[in-house]
A and B are shown apart, each in its own frame.
Chain A
Amino acid sequence: MDFSISLTINGVERRITFDDPRVTLLDLFRERLHLTGTKKGCDRGQCGACTILVDGRRINSCLALALSHDGASITTIEGLAKDDQLHPVQAAFIENDGFQCGFCTPGQIMSAVGLIAEGHAGTDPERVREGMSGNLCRCGAYAGITKAVIEAQKSAGEARTGEAA
């Protein structure tokens, strides 16, 4: 039996058909849509490598059944940069050495984008660490990740102030 859902992925609406109800959003992207930026770490909701935004909110795509998300709007790491212009969070991760091997980085960055949008952490390192605790980094780049998120949070705040002015 075939299943058909509609998803808006990184701004593009797509009609997707697949044959197995067990497919998660993570497996849909990686195995069927050739969007391999979203990483599979634990596949059990423990590491955060598969973090994506669904309707603007960060979730673990490994624990999200694709069929349950018919009609959703999704942003993956591939959807952040505008042409050659990196997203401010991506730029901040490079600037602050927010990674070493890079495997957890797409999930870290998507989680940071979600955290900044939620607006609960601000620039307090303790709150940033708490808000990012769902993303593990085996290389231990946490100090750089925290700095990157704080820097991106500050520039997001300035951008908002600029828009208001």
Chain B
Amino acid sequence: MNRFDYIRPTSLDEAIAAASQPGSAFLAAGTNLLDLMKGNITRPDRIVDITKLPDLDRIETLEDGSTRIGALVKNADLAYHEDFAARFPAVAEALLSGASAQLRNAASVGGNLLQRTRCRYFYDTASACNKREPGSGCDSLEGENAGQAVLGWSPSCIATHPSDFCVPLAALGAIVEIKGPDGSRDVALTDFHRLPGDRPDIETVLAPGELVVAIRLPAEAAGFAAHSRYLKLRERTSYAFALVSAAAMLRLEDGVIAEARIAIGSVAAKPWRAKSAEAVLKGMKAEPAFFEKAAREAFAEAKPSGDNADKIELGRRIVARALTLASAGTPTEMPALPASPFAPLPGASANGVAHV
């Protein structure tokens, strides 16, 4: 780890001014930043520690009914906040499927948005990586790429964004509140992360000095609470990043889908909202045939970035299964165990929904 100047500001304005200097990085819990610094992947000259800043750790309901989550709220505190989990159960389910209990106790929700990819070439400083070192190339293109992106990738970078939390947030229309040297602004979560193009090193719309101060969920997002799921496929049952994941939410009226929300995780450099797949379900009955049609639509534009064509089929099945699970109803207890996607579906009948 390189040496750095350590600054602990006492106000938001002071923090933003300090972090506007080139080479600065904000430090919240540090569960990702310190890991990256230990690997010499990130080498900030100055650390601006925001952990002691006031008023960034609140979960509150605003006058318009929207829910505002301060950027320093811990992942575990949000997941186990009873009122929040009741209104946005897929968000709680996603949070509790990520990392370990220790990391969830430390990690902040703002930091979750800003976590870097887990691409092994990004982590290996001996490898070429356009994200870590612009212009150096991408060793993953001809290397290990089974877990890489199938949507929105470019020849410069095929890495994925690893967040679980961001996937239901994308589906629910979350807004990111940003404060910076030029004032405050709101950005839709689905516009917050950038696709790689030819600059995979620029991952978000944040300008130097800008800080995520909160995440908001609109009031209408709670309308999906009865039928919401987050399903995560991984190489072991717990404490692993997703191969592919899906958030699925349904608003049902007399067995008919009034509105559906679908987002997919670990398939692109950003959480991937599948609006065209949502449209497929509008006005349809909550039945497996429609879920499978929506799942095909969600991956209609997918293409392999390497030896990962299987990931497209895996993704379709996870989307269809997440929709099936959502239609059966939100689980009463989180985390919803067993966590394996191969576990029997609740209320599975003999008509073939047990293994979609």
Interface pair B103/A45, CB less than 8 Å apart: yes
- Which residues of B lie under 8 Å from residue A134 when comparing CB positions? 99-103, 239
Supposing A21-B47, A126-B337 touch, asked if A131 and B101 sit within 8 A by C-beta, the answer is: yes
Interface pair A133/B100, CB less than 8 Å apart: yes
- Residues of B whose CB lies within 8 Å of any CB of A are 1, 3-6, 8, 27, 29-31, 34-35, 38-39, 47, 49, 51-52, 76, 80, 99-103, 105-106, 237-239, 335, 337-339
Smallest CB-CB A-B distances: 6 pairs: A134-B100, A133-B238, A21-B6, A133-B239, A59-B106, A57-B105
Q: Mark A45-73, 1 if CB is under 8 A from B, else 0.
A: 10010010000011110011101101000
Interface pair A120/B80, CB less than 8 Å apart: yes
**CB proximity of A62 to chain B, nearest CB, Å:** 8
Once the chains are docked, how many angstroms separate the CA of A133 from the CA of B47? 31
Interface members, chain A 14-43 (any B CB < 8 Å): 20-22, 24, 43
- Which residues of A lie under 8 Å from residue B338 when comparing CB positions? 126
Majority secondary structure of chain A interface residues (helix, strand, loop or mixed): mixed
- Residues of A whose CB lies within 8 Å of any CB of B are 3, 20-22, 24, 43-45, 48, 51, 57-60, 63-65, 67-68, 70, 111, 114-115, 118, 120, 124, 126-127, 129-135
In the complex formed, the residue of A with least CB distance to B1 is A22
Interface pair B100/A65, CB less than 8 Å apart: no
Supposing A21-B47, A48-B102, A134-B103 touch, asked if A67 and B3 sit within 8 A by C-beta, the answer is: no
Interface pair B8/A111, CB less than 8 Å apart: no
Interface pair B27/A68, CB less than 8 Å apart: yes
In the complex formed, the residue of A with least CB distance to B49 is A68
- Which residues of B lie under 8 Å from residue A63 when comparing CB positions? 29-31, 34-35, 103, 106
- Which residues of B lie under 8 Å from residue A118 when comparing CB positions? 101
Interface pair A111/B101, CB less than 8 Å apart: yes
Once the chains are docked, how many angstroms separate the CA of A45 from the CA of B31? 7
Among A24, A115, A131, the residue within 8 A (CB) of B34 is: A24
Interface centre among A70, A111, A130 (most CB of B within 10 A): A130
Interface pair A48/B100, CB less than 8 Å apart: yes
**CB proximity of B4 to chain A, nearest CB, Å:** 6
Interface pair A127/B102, CB less than 8 Å apart: no
- Which residues of A lie under 8 Å from residue B6 when comparing CB positions? 3, 21, 67
A-B contact pairs, 14 of them (CB 8 A): A22-B1, A22-B4, A58-B105, A63-B29, A65-B27, A65-B49, A127-B337, A129-B238, A130-B237, A130-B337, A133-B100, A133-B237, A133-B239, A134-B101
**CB proximity of A12 to chain B, nearest CB, Å:** 23
Interface pair B337/A111, CB less than 8 Å apart: no
**CB proximity of B295 to chain A, nearest CB, Å:** 27
